Structure formats: C-alpha cells, structure tokens
C-alpha cells in the first residue's frame, strides 16, 4: 500500500448553530467510515480515516437540527458502496446516497442502488487515483433515464472546457465544495467564472461546503471564502445546497466545530427565506425527497 495520510476525528462536542434550523433541513454532503472490519478500505488510497459511524453522525445532526442527509461515497472505499448504501437505507426516507460505480455498471445494479436511496454518481479525480473525467460521458448516458446526477470533486480552475463538457451531458452536474477553487485565485478565475455561467444557466448545481478546503485561513469563519459563496448566491440561489462534509476527512486546517461550519451559511446567506430554500427546498428537488409544502 502507498503511504496514506492519517486523518483526525471530528470535533467531539458539536454545538448548535446560531440560527434556527428549519424543519426538513438537509445536510447534502456526509461520509460514513467503518467499522473497518466490516468495510475494509482500499489499499491504494490517499488517506486513512478513523471510524465515523452513522450513530456518531446522528448525534451531530441532532445537535445541529438537521433532519435529512445525503451520504456520499468516499474515495477510500472505491466502488464498494456497502457502507454508504447501508447508512442511507438505515436513514429511510430522510436519507439519500451518492455512489461511485464503474462506467459499465449494469442497469439492474443501478436500479437496486436506487431502491436503497442512491440518486447520483460521484467522480472524484482529486482523491482517487483511478477516477477519470472521461467516465462522465459514459456514466451520464446510463443515468439519464433514472433522474440521477453526476457529482464532481474537481478544482474547476484546473479543468479546461468545463462549459463544453457540461453541454454534452444529458444529466445535471453537481460540483462539490464551491468548485474547489483556492481562494488566492480569486472569483475572477476563468474556471470559477465558467462555473458561475453554468450555474446561472441552470445547467449545474453547487454545494456550499468545504470552505476549509480552499481557504488560506486556519480557523472559521474563513473570510476569504465569502466572496466565492456570495458570487454563487448572486448568480442562482435556486441551485445551491449546503453540506457539512462531516467527518471532514483529510482537511488542511485544524478540525472545526460543526456549529461553526453551519454558521458560515448564516454569514453567507443572512436572508432567512433564501437560506431555508438552500437547506430544504433545493435538496428536496435535487435528491428526490418528499415535497416540503
């Protein structure tokens, strides 16, 4: 096995956010890890997480006042989606999953995953040595008639032809962590501007998450991320969702408190009606939850 970075555990005492969390609020980016004896990690991986069980997440989301969640398949499990799908199934109608599959995965397998709560497929070139953006087109055509989307973890400042790629796909693209552009590149970066155009045209979704992955600061509120969040909000708040990124694997800064992370949303989106759409209504549309009205 290649050397894999050992990750820190999440904050043991999360606090409630400073604003009132609306009913049916959704955390759209969560990972679960372990038990490792039941769900072994792939040998070729870039990090080694400590166990972060669904029961641990339930405690955290209870403190934050979150009802719904989307379990996202992490790179350390490769295409073994058992931990992710079992967690989503255990959450019932309040949980969904985003899985990682091969481009030639049979439709019958995808339909079984759909029944377990899956609504999207993730491509992760940043933390997976085997991910390939060329898989996007092959996967998209398999997913088009299922109402699924493609979720992409990529630094859009390093991705050429983003708009051309999106135009060629028959499914929605969902970008993790605000497009993962390092803040020193600024909001006028060509890749981020392409992302804004796609968002403005309604051709993609963006997760307001992972501020600590792009900031130059060590602690919240990561003020240098605010211009990026504001630019996304001014462009199209109807296709933005929020995620905690719990348990925060392989982050380049000290482990934050989850309450501080949720308070970032209050800083970025002080308008309550808009913030509630991002937490409730937008996720309901993207992840096929029961209508909120």
Phi, psi of 139 (to 5 degrees): -65, -40
* Total number of domains constituting the chain: 1
Instruction: For residue 186, tell me if it sits in a domain.
Output: yes
pTM exceeding 0.85: yes
- CATH number where 220 lies: 3.20.20.140
For this structure, is 263 an active site residue?
no
Residue 130: which pLDDT band, with cuts at 50, 70 and 90?
very low
Name the average pLDDT for the chain. Answer: 93
The pLDDT of residue 262? 98
Residue 126: which pLDDT band, with cuts at 50, 70 and 90?
low
86 has a pLDDT exceeding 60 = yes
Q: How far is CA 20 from CA 35, 100, 221, 272, in A?
A: 33, 34, 19, 9
The pLDDT of residue 129? 46
Q: Please give the Cα distance from 224 to 21 (Å, whole number).
A: 25
Instruction: For residue 4, tell me if it sits in a domain.
Output: no
Question: Which segment of 22-26, 37-41, 58-62, 165-169 scores lowest on mean pLDDT?
Answer: 165-169
pLDDT digits (tens, 9 = 90+) for 207-263: 999 999 999 999 999 999 999 999 999 999 999 999 999 999 999 999 999 999 999
58 has a pLDDT exceeding 60 = yes
Q: Is the peptide bond before 290 cis (omega within 30 degrees of 0)?
A: no
Instruction: For residue 15, tell me if it sits in a domain.
Output: no
- Residue-range definition of the domain harbouring residue 150: 20-285
- Nearest alpha-carbon partner for 89 in 116, 58, 115: 116
Q: Do residues 87 and 52 lie in contact, with contact meaning Cβ atoms separated by under 8 Å?
A: no
Instruction: For residue 12, tell me if it sits in a domain.
Output: no
pLDDT digits (tens, 9 = 90+) for 141-182: 889 989 999 999 999 999 888 998 888 899 999 999 999 999
Instruction: For residue 291, tell me if it sits in a domain.
Output: no
The pLDDT of residue 278? 98
The pLDDT of residue 104? 86
Token pair of 30 as six digits = 């969560």
Q: Please give the Cα distance from 117 to 135 (Å, whole number).
A: 22
Phi, psi of 53 (to 5 degrees): -85, 160
The pLDDT of residue 135? 63
Instruction: For residue 170, tell me if it sits in a domain.
Output: yes
Position of tokens 């905690």? 244
The pLDDT of residue 124? 79
Better pLDDT: 128 or 74: 74
Instruction: For residue 256, tell me if it sits in a domain.
Output: yes
Position of tokens 């080694």? 48
Q: Do residues 146 and 139 lie in contact, with contact meaning Cβ atoms separated by under 8 Å?
A: no
Q: Do residues 29 and 207 lie in contact, with contact meaning Cβ atoms separated by under 8 Å?
A: yes
Q: Do residues 47 and 290 lie in contact, with contact meaning Cβ atoms separated by under 8 Å?
A: no
Q: Please give the Cα distance from 200 to 180 (Å, whole number).
A: 18
Q: Please give the Cα distance from 82 to 19 (Å, whole number).
A: 35
Tell me the residue length of the chain: 293
Instruction: For residue 10, tell me if it sits in a domain.
Output: no
Phi, psi of 96 (to 5 degrees): -130, 170
The pLDDT of residue 1? 39
Which of 27, 245, 258, 276 does the annotation list as catalytic?
A: 245
């Amino acid at each position: 096995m290649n050397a894999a970075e050992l990750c820190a555990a999440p904050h043991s005492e999360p606090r409630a956010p400073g604003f009132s969390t609306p009913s049916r609020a959704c955390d759209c980016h969560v990972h679960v890890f372990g038990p490792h004896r039941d769900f072994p990690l792939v040998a070729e991986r870039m990090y080694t997480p400590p166990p972060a069980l669904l029961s641990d997440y339930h405690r955290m989301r209870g403190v934050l006042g979150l009802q719904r969640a989307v379990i996202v398949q992490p790179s350390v499990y490769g295409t073994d989606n058992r931990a992710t799908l079992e967690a989503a199934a255990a959450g019932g109608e309040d949980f969904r999953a985003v899985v990682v599959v091969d481009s030639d995965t049979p439709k019958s397998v995808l339909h079984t995953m759909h029944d377990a709560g899956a609504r999207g497929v993730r491509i992760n070139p940043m933390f997976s040595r085997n991910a390939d953006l060329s898989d996007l087109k092959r996967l998209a055509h398999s997913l088009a008639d299922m109402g699924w989307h493609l979720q992409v973890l990529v630094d859009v400042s390093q991705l050429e032809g983003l708009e051309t790629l999106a135009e060629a796909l028959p499914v929605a693209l969902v970008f993790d962590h605000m497009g993962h552009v390092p803040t020193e590149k600024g909001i006028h970066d060509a890749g981020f501007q392409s992302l804004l155009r796609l968002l403005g045209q309604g051709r993609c979704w963006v997760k307001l998450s992972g501020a600590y992955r792009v900031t130059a600061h060590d602690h919240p509120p990561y003020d240098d991320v605010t211009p990026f969040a504001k630019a996304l909000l001014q462009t199209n708040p109807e296709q933005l969702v929020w995620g905690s990124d719990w348990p925060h694997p392989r982050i380049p800064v000290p482990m934050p408190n989850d309450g501080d992370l949720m308070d970032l949303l209050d800083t970025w989106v002080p308008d309550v009606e808009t913030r509630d759409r991002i937490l409730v209504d937008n996720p309901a549309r993207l992840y096929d939850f029961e209508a909120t009205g």
